[in-house]
Structure 1
């Protein structure tokens, strides 16, 4: 097995851990669009980055959510809210993260993130009480 194949398989294992089979299905849909892109996401994004041990999966999920909120990328945010919940981030932690981002990235980006996050919470049956 080549190093490239090993990184890809490692990426598949990591994605399966942090998101389950649903995550695998969503990422692999890119095979039909652009196979090299899907391979790069799996090998680098998950096989190289998410597999590092200096941060745990919960920490990486929080960092990823912060980045996506501050960039204003709703579709990726949706995917990674599911991931965050899967690795143990609580709904209250996610909402607090969005509030925190408002101070550094601006209220419009946080305001835009809330409907996406609340929609995911509704999909998975999460009620948040303050």
Structure 2
């Protein structure tokens, strides 16, 4: 059996850490920092099963939701911009999307990181399309939201029978999910981080099922998600998500709904 070289792993981790964060990486001075270099970057970020753009989206959203140190969030945002994997406009949209699934305080944290990166890199402000520029018919807005819900979740949504359901139909799906500033696959990753952090069974199962049933993500990519997410949220939460992914993947492959 061939032996793996620890120096090679550490060198790879340090190089990937610098690449992902868009600036030179410092040598670790503690076991935690060493594990970040040798496992998080050398072994997780180097995996071929998920594209770099997706890893950035998952990592930024997961780091924000996990109250990560500002330097970690800033590193991901800066690296995403410098690498060209995400634009400032897309990152602004990402912060909006996380606001719905993680709460507006978390969305503001992501947005603050975007602003710091914009200033540090000397970038021009991103275009900021209004949530809605034109007058609207409330009925048409609700109908559009229900249609977007059906497309996104791959099953019909319920009627707006209370204020919360109205907000889902009118704003979440009627306005936010259909904004052109971020593609559906990108929105999917951010959503999955938010629902995974919620520990709420119905949102977790329905959204992970929809991610695969819609064709946005494959089973293999979802399993990579659980690893990338686990780096920030911890193994217990990621273990729950990993189990749901395997359960929902079987249902999608069999053409079954997420429930029942």
Give the unaligned 5+ runs of structure 2: 1-135, 255-260
Runs of 4+ in 1 over 4 A off after TM superposition: none
Which is higher, the Rg of structure 1 or of structure 2? 2
**TM-score, normalised by the number of residues in structure 1:** 0.78
Q: Is the 8 A contact 2:153 2:206 kept in 1?
A: no
Write out aligned runs for 1:1-130 (5 A): 3-20=137-154, 22=155, 24=156, 27-28=157-158, 34-85=161-212, 86-125=214-253
Q: 1:110: Cα distance to partner?
A: 0.3
Deviations for 1:85-127, whole angstroms, at most 9, x for unmatched residues? 214211111111111111111111101112222111111227x
Q: 1:11: Cα distance to partner?
A: 0.8
User: Which whole-Å CA distance do the structure 1 matches of 2:215 and 2:184 have between them?
Assistant: 6
Over 3 Å counting, the alpha-carbon distance change for 1:70 and 1:19 in structure 2 is closer
**TM-score, normalised by the number of residues in structure 2:** 0.42
**Per residue, is there more helix in 1 or in 2?**
1
RMSD (Å), alpha carbons: 2.1
Q: Is the 8 A contact 2:148 2:173 kept in 1?
A: yes
